């Protein structure tokens, strides 16, 4: 497996673990009216910092750009869809963070709103990753050339996902520890 594809697979495993936790918390909130607010706030902060500022731009600026350049007729539809989803994710996270703040402030109806927003976000994230993994990435393997992969691999090797690395000194060391304690990490992550 190419270095960039291995890195993307690990990052997607970490994001899927977060999506599972968010979905579980949404179900607990809808049923019991209580949620692990600190955990959800850590997850939201992580998603703002890493996937939206590093992961997605690398996909877009390297992998997707090369795919579109090599085979626009084969790649444009799926890439347009993924780029649209990437552009809307910031808004989704802002909605999620607003719902978290309303719940933290004990506003009326905030628990049910947060349960709905969190559940929807978890479904979106899981579906988005599935499309990338099963449609876009296999297509990239088909259309890209070695020279493309050299640039893509170099860019992704510079990624430093604080959740995947498990660095306890990282801002997200606590999130990593909490996920480990929940037993929610998927295979392949420490």
The contacts of residue 10 (CB under 8 Å, 6+ apart) are: 161, 164, 188, 189
- What's the pLDDT band for 168 if we cut at 50, 70, 90? low
Model confidence at 55: pLDDT above 60:
yes
pTM score: 0.87
Mention every residue, 6+ apart, whose C-beta is less than 8 A from residue 27.
115, 119
Please determine, for residue 188, whether its predicted confidence score (pLDDT) is greater than 50. Answer: no
* pLDDT higher than 90, residue 71: yes
pLDDT score at 158: 86
Is the domain spanning 3-182 CATH 1.10.1030.10? The answer is no
Segment 168-183 mean pLDDT? 71
Distance CA 180, CA 170 (A): 15
The angle subtended at Cα 167 by Cα 56 and Cα 181, nearest 5°, is 95
Distance of alpha carbon 2 from alpha carbon 111, whole angstroms: 43
Look at residue 123 and tell me whether its pLDDT is greater than 80: yes
């Amino acid at each position: 497996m190419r270095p960039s594809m291995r890195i993307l697979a690990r990052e997607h495993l970490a994001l899927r673990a977060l999506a599972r936790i968010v979905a579980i918390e949404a179900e607990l909130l809808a049923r019991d009216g209580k949620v692990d607010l600190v955990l959800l706030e850590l997850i939201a902060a992580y998603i703002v910092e890493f996937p939206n500022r590093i992961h997605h731009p690398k996909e877009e600026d390297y992998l997707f750009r090369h795919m579109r350049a090599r085979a626009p007729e084969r790649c444009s539809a799926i890439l347009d869809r993924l780029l649209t989803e990437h552009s809307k994710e910031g808004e989704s996270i802002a909605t999620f963070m607003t719902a978290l703040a309303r719940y933290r402030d004990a506003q009326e109806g905030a628990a049910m709103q947060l349960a709905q927003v969190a559940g929807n976000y978890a479904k979106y994230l899981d579906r988005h990753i599935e499309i990338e993994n099963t449609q876009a990435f296999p297509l990239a393997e088909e259309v890209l050339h070695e020279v493309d992969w050299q640039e893509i691999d170099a860019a992704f090797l510079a990624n430093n996902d604080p959740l995947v690395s498990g660095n306890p000194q990282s801002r997200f060391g606590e999130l990593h520890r909490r996920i480990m304690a929940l037993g929610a990490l998927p295979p392949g992550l420490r």
